[in-house]
Structure 1
Amino acid sequence: MNKMYIVLIAVKIGGAEKRFIDIFYELVNLNKNTFLVVSQSIADYITNELPFIHENVIILGNKQEPLLIFVIRYLHWLSKKIKEPGAYHYPINCLFFAHVFSKHQISSSFVQSDFNLSLPSLSYIKSLEYREKINACKMLVKHKLLLHCSHKVDVLNPSVYYKLIHQHPEMSKKISQTTCGTYVNLNNFLFQIDSNQLKIQNQREQNIVFMSRMIPKAKGIEDFLGIIKEVYDLIKESNFSQVKFLIAGAGPLVPEVLSQINTLNQKYSIPIEFLGYQPSVKILIQSNIFLSFQKVNNYPSRVVAEALLSGTSVIIRDNGESRLFGDPHVGIEYVNDALVPIDVSTAIIKLLRQYQQDTYFSRKIHNAAVKRFCQSDTIKYFKKLMDFEI
C-alpha cells in the first residue's frame, strides 16, 4: 500500500491545522502508512496540547522559522520522494508545482468560507484598495491553479462546493464535500480538559469570550467592541453583575483592540480583559458563553465546535450557512446579522439563566456536540479521498 501524507504548509496553528491533526490521529489507526508533515512550530502544539506525538509525525525545521524557510525545507525533503509513489493531501497552501515530475496523487482542501473563481466585475475591482486588488488577483490565480492541478479536491463549506460545481461542472468528478463539517478528535480534546468541569456547574464563571484572529473586516471584533457598552448595560439590568468579557487572539488589530479596551475599562468601567493568544480550550472550559461573530459565515468554525464540546454555550451571528451548526442545537443561540445590542444581550441573559436553572447544562451541551462533531464518517471520507476511491 502506498504511503499517504497529510502536509501542513503552516507555521502557526489555526482551526484548519487542528482539524487535520485530529484527522491524522484517526487515519493512522486505519492505515499505518499515513504520515503527517509539519513544521517545528506545529509540532510544538502537538507536544504541548495532545496526549503524545505520534511516531508518524515528520517534523521539518527549527522553532520560529518563517513559512518560506519551512517551504524550502519541505521541498528539499520532497525531492527525495519524487520517485516513490504516494498520496499527498494539502489542507492549506497546496504546493502542486512540486509534484510535476512525479507520479504522486495530489489532493487538496478548500477550507475557505467563501470565494469566487469567476472574474470580479470592473466596478467591484475599482472599489478595492490597491493591496486588496493585488490580493484578490492572487487568490483567484491560486484557486484556479489548485483546482486544475489537484487530482481530488475536498471542499469544507457547502456553498463553496455548490459554487464550484456550478462554475466548473466538467470537474465535478474530482470535487467532493467534507461530511459533517468540522471534526474534533474526542480523545485529543478530552486530554486538554478536566472532565469534572463538564459536570460541576459552580466551577464555571460568567465569562463571555470572544476569541479569533485579530484581523480587519473578517472576524467581527470591530462590531463586537462597537456594541459592548450597550450590551453590558442591558445585562446589568438583569442582575448578572458578575459577567466579565474576555478577548483572546493575535493579529494586526491588537493595538487598536487594546486601545478600545482601555477606553471601555477606564471611561465606562466595563469588566473586559485582553488575553492575547491563548489555547482555546483552556479558556472555553472556564466560561459560560462564546461569541462567534464572523462577518460572512460562521460555519463550520472549529472553535464553535470546541466551545460546545467544552460545555460552553455559543451565540452565533446569523449569516451565510451559520445555522448548519444546528437549528435548534443545545447551547446555541443565533442573533441577527446586524448585531443589535438588545438581541445580543437577550441571548446572553437567556443562556446565563439556563446555566443557573440546570446544573447539568454544560454536560448536555457537550453530549450533543460529541454526536455532531466527533463522527467516524469524517474519517472514512478522508481515507477514501486519499485512497482516491471518491
Structure 2
Amino acid sequence: MNKVFIVLSTIHIGGAEKRFTGLWKSFQENADKGFIVKLVMNESLYQKLAESGEVNPGNKNIIAANLSGKSFWQYRKNVKNILKAQATKGDIIHFIGLSPVIKIKGTRQLLSITGTRLNVDGRINMALILASALYANAIDVLDPRVYATVKKIFFWKQKKIFRTSNSFCDVSVYKPLPPEQKKDWIVFLGRFDEVKQVEQILLFLPYVYKKLMQAGNKDYHFYILGHGALETKLKQILSSNEYQHLPITIRFQKDPWVIVNKSKVFLSLQLHNNYPSRSLLEAMAAGNIPVVTDVGQTRWIARPEFSYYLPEKFSKEELATTLVKVFKLDAQQFEQKTNLARNLVLAEHDVSKMQAYFESIYRQV
C-alpha cells in the first residue's frame, strides 16, 4: 500500500496547519484503502498542535523532527534525509505552502499553494513557491486568482493543476447551544498577527463597548482567543488603565468550541481575505453572526443573507455601529440568520468532501 507524506514546514499554527492536520485526522478516522497517510512536521509545531488538542501525542503516523535548520539549505537537507529514509517507490509527498525543491527517487509530489497571493511574503518566497511548483507532479491551489496565474505559468501542467474546493470544520463539535443559553459574547479566534488586525480590534474595544452599553445594557463580553507574535503587546494594552473595567479576555483556548458554541458574534476582520478561514466556519457552525471585512473571496463563506460587512480599513465607529445593529436583531431574526450560516457549513464544508477531493488528486499525481 502506498504512503502519502503531508509535509508541514512551518513552526506556528495557522489556517493551513489546522486545515491539513484536520485532513490527516480524517484519513486516520476514515482510512482510505489505497493510502497510508503520514504527517511530517517540525518538533516545535508538533508540540503546539499536541498542546492545542489538534493531534494526539505518540501517533505512529506522525513524524516530528527538526526540519527547519538555520537556512533554507539546511531545511532542504533535513527534509530530504527524513523522506529518503521513510518513502519508497510509488509514495506521494504532499508539500504544504512550498517544498524544499527536492526529488526523492521513485516518489511523486503534490504541492498545495495556500496563500492568497504568490508574493505575500516577498519575491524570494514567491520564487521558492514557483520552483516548488516546477518540481511538483501536481499542484493544488487555494485562491482562484493564484490558480489562474499558476495555470498560465505552468501551461504544460494544466491538467494536473487543481483548485481547492473548500475548507471544513467538525460540525459535531461546533454546534450552537439552545437560544436561551446563548450569551452576548463577541469572539475573535485566530493567530495574533498583523494580517488578522487583532491589535486594531483591541484598540477599538473601549469605544465599541461604550456604544454597545448606550444601545442596550446587556451582558457583553469580548473574547480574544489564540496566540502569536502580538500576544505580549495585546496583553500590555489590556493592562493599561483604560481597559481595567472592560469585560475582555485574552488567552489561548484549547477547546474554543466551549466559547463559540455559546457566543453570538464572531469577528473575522483580516486583511486581503477571510477565505477559507476555518475558525470562521467553526463560528458559523456554532451559531454565530459573522462580522467580516469585505475582502477577497470572503463572501464565498460569509454570505450576505447572514453576515455583516466592514471595509478592510474599518474605523472604531464602523465596528461599533455594526455590532449595535447585530445586537438589535430580535430572537427570531438572530435564529434565522444563524441557521442559514450553520446550514451552509453543513452543506458545503464537511470534512468528508475535503478528503474525497484529495483522494482524487492522490490517484492522479
> TM > 0.5 between the two?
yes
**Alignment of 1:334 onto 2:337:** no
Partner of 2:147: 161
Amino acid at match of 2:35: N
Please tell me whether the aligned partners of residues 248 and 278 of structure 1 are also in contact (alpha carbons under 8 angstroms): no
| 1:18-42 per-position Cα deviation (integer Å, ceiling 9, x unaligned) | 2223323444533352212244653
**Alignment of 1:271 onto 2:247:** yes
**Alignment of 1:89 onto 2:73:** no
Amino acid at match of 2:33: N
SS for the counterpart of 1:173 is helix
Please tell me whether the aligned partners of residues 109 and 138 of structure 2 are also in contact (alpha carbons under 8 angstroms): yes
> Which residue, 40, 46, 67 being the options, matches 1:42?
46
SS for the counterpart of 2:139 is strand
SS for the counterpart of 1:37 is strand
> How far did 1:11 drift?
4.4
| 1:27-76 per-position Cα deviation (integer Å, ceiling 9, x unaligned) | 45333522122446537746974697896623334xxx784499677544
**Alignment of 1:345 onto 2:348:** no
Please tell me whether the aligned partners of residues 5 and 37 of structure 1 are also in contact (alpha carbons under 8 angstroms): yes
> How far did 1:182 drift?
1.2
State the distance in 1 between where 2:253 and 2:101 align: 32
SS for the counterpart of 1:387 is helix
SS for the counterpart of 1:80 is helix
State the distance in 1 between where 2:286 and 2:155 align: 41
Amino acid at match of 1:42: Y
Partner of 1:128: none
- CA RMSD across the alignment: 3.3
Counterpart mapping for 1:149-228 below 5 A: 149-179=135-165, 181-184=166-169, 186=170, 189-190=171-172, 192=173, 198-216=176-194, 218-228=195-205
> How far did 1:320 drift?
1.7
Partner of 1:311: 287
| 1:111-169 per-position Cα deviation (integer Å, ceiling 9, x unaligned) | 1122249xxxxxxxxxxxxxxxxx62331221121111111110111122123234443
| Residues 225, 365 of structure 1: alpha-carbon distance in 2 compared, 3 angstrom cutoff | same
Taking every aligned residue pair, what percent have the same amino acid on both sides? 21
TM-score normalized with structure 1 length? 0.78
Please tell me whether the aligned partners of residues 24 and 34 of structure 1 are also in contact (alpha carbons under 8 angstroms): no
| Residues 340, 367 of structure 1: alpha-carbon distance in 2 compared, 3 angstrom cutoff | same
Q: How many residues align?
A: 356
Please tell me whether the aligned partners of residues 34 and 56 of structure 1 are also in contact (alpha carbons under 8 angstroms): no
Please tell me whether the aligned partners of residues 49 and 55 of structure 2 are also in contact (alpha carbons under 8 angstroms): no
**Alignment of 1:106 onto 2:109:** yes
SS for the counterpart of 1:222 is helix
| 1:202-221 per-position Cα deviation (integer Å, ceiling 9, x unaligned) | 323211112222223x1112
**Alignment of 1:382 onto 2:358:** yes
Amino acid at match of 1:316: V
TM-score normalized with structure 2 length? 0.83
State the distance in 2 between where 1:157 and 1:34 align: 28
SS for the counterpart of 1:290 is strand
SS for the counterpart of 1:338 is coil
State the distance in 2 between where 1:26 and 1:106 align: 21
Please tell me whether the aligned partners of residues 250 and 277 of structure 1 are also in contact (alpha carbons under 8 angstroms): no
Amino acid at match of 1:173: K
Counterpart mapping for 1:229-248 below 5 A: 229-248=206-225
> How far did 1:199 drift?
4.0
> Which residue, 128, 142, 150 being the options, matches 1:142?
128
SS for the counterpart of 2:215 is coil
Please tell me whether the aligned partners of residues 43 and 59 of structure 1 are also in contact (alpha carbons under 8 angstroms): no
Please tell me whether the aligned partners of residues 229 and 270 of structure 1 are also in contact (alpha carbons under 8 angstroms): yes
Amino acid at match of 2:89: E
| Residues 346, 140 of structure 1: alpha-carbon distance in 2 compared, 3 angstrom cutoff | same
Amino acid at match of 2:188: F
State the distance in 2 between where 1:213 and 1:157 align: 20
State the distance in 1 between where 2:52 and 2:250 align: 23
- Structure 1's unaligned 5+ residue stretches are 118-134
Amino acid at match of 1:8: L
| 1:245-280 per-position Cα deviation (integer Å, ceiling 9, x unaligned) | 22222222223222222336447x432222146443
Partner of 1:57: 61
State the distance in 1 between where 2:310 and 2:128 align: 34
State the distance in 2 between where 1:266 and 1:101 align: 55
